Amino acid sequence: MATPHSTGSYGADHGADPHGAGHHDDGHPHEHISPLSMYFGVFGALMVLTVMTVWVSTLGLGAVSIYVAMFVAIIKAYMVCAYFMHLKWDSPFNRLIFISSIVFMAIFFIITATDIGFRGQINPETDSMVLRQEENATAAEAARKAAFEAKTVTLARAPGSVPTGVDTPPVAVPAPAAPATAAAPATAAAPAAPGAAPDAPAAAAPAPAN
């Protein structure tokens, strides 16, 4: 080594501690030197928290799991920043810079999450965004269809022992099979438009709703 040092042990370090030489203002920075016990203590705590993070993930907490994991990670991050990075003893101005980066990160997260959260969903078939309004329209459409199907099935069962309404896909019930014998009750349910709009369920929907 470049500079010989009589002992390799840390115990001898304190003799070289600039603080031990007294505080005289010579334009030199006076640094906080933490005891070794602090470093090993923080290291131990970080290890325990790491094991804890892994253990918590095996508990099957479901949706809560990510919040627990992030909470533990934030505690670990605080310990690294405050003690290993010495931010606890750094100038308030440097602390301010660090905290401001966290604040701006939070602003970035909140605004982006608000955008994404209220934008809608991804339609896996077209792989494009489904906007909220379209989503609501689709939901209303689905509800209308469901009501229509329920009614059709009920009516199909009602007149007699014909189970066809249950077996066939409900959307197909009112449609082109009309002349066939099995679908007779469905046709009866829509007297206003017998056999109308065979391939447009949306158009057929209002008829039985009357």
Partner 1 sequence: MSSHDHAHPEYVQHHFHTAAEQRAASKFGMWAFIAQEILFFAGLFMAYAAFRFFYPETFVAAHEHLSWKMGGVNTIVLITSSLTMALAVRAAQTGNQKQLSIQLLLTIVFACCFLVVKYFEYSAKVHHCLLPGDYYGLPLKDDAGNFKLDAIGNRIFSDHCDIPKSGQMDAKSAGIFFGVYFIMTGMHGLHVLVGIGLLAWIWLRARKGHFHPKYFSPVEYVGLYWHLVDLIWIFLFPLLYLVK
Give the sign of the dihedral formed by CA 17, CA 20, CA 23, CA 26.
Answer: negative
In sequence order, which residues have a C-beta less than 8 Å from that of residue 145 and are 6 or more positions away? 171, 201, 205
136 closest CA partner among 112, 113, 114, 118: 118
Q: How far apart (Å, rounded) are the C-alpha atoms in residues 9 and 16?
A: 13
Tell me if 210 sits within 8 A of 192, measured CB to CB.
yes
- Single out the segment in contact with partner 1 by CB under 8 A; choices: 108-116, 130-138, 159-167, 183-191: 108-116
* Interaction between residue 178 and partner 1 (CB under 8 A): no
Instruction: Look up residue 186 and give its DSSP letter.
Output: H
CA distance 90 to 75: 19
Piece of 121-129, 142-150, 151-159, 167-175 that binds partner 1 (CB under 8 A): 121-129
Residue window 41-80: x/- pattern of binding to partner 1, with contact defined by CB under 8 A: -xx--xx--x--xx--x--x-x--xx--xx-xx--xx--x
Q: Which one of 88, 94, 150, 167 is in contact with partner 1 (CB under 8 A)?
A: 94
Of 117 and 160, the one with the shorter C-beta distance to partner 1 is 117
H helical segments located in 1-131: 36-57, 64-79, 92-117
Task: Determine if 113 is a binding residue for partner 1 (CB under 8 A).
Answer: yes
27 touches partner 1 (CB under 8 A): yes
Residues that bind partner 1 in the complex, under the rule CB under 8 A: 1-3, 5, 8, 10, 12-14, 16-18, 26-29, 31, 33-34, 36, 39-40, 42-43, 46-47, 50, 53-54, 57, 60, 62, 65-66, 69-70, 72-73, 76-77, 80-81, 83-86, 90-91, 93-94, 97-98, 100-102, 104-105, 108-109, 112-113, 116-117, 121-122, 124, 127
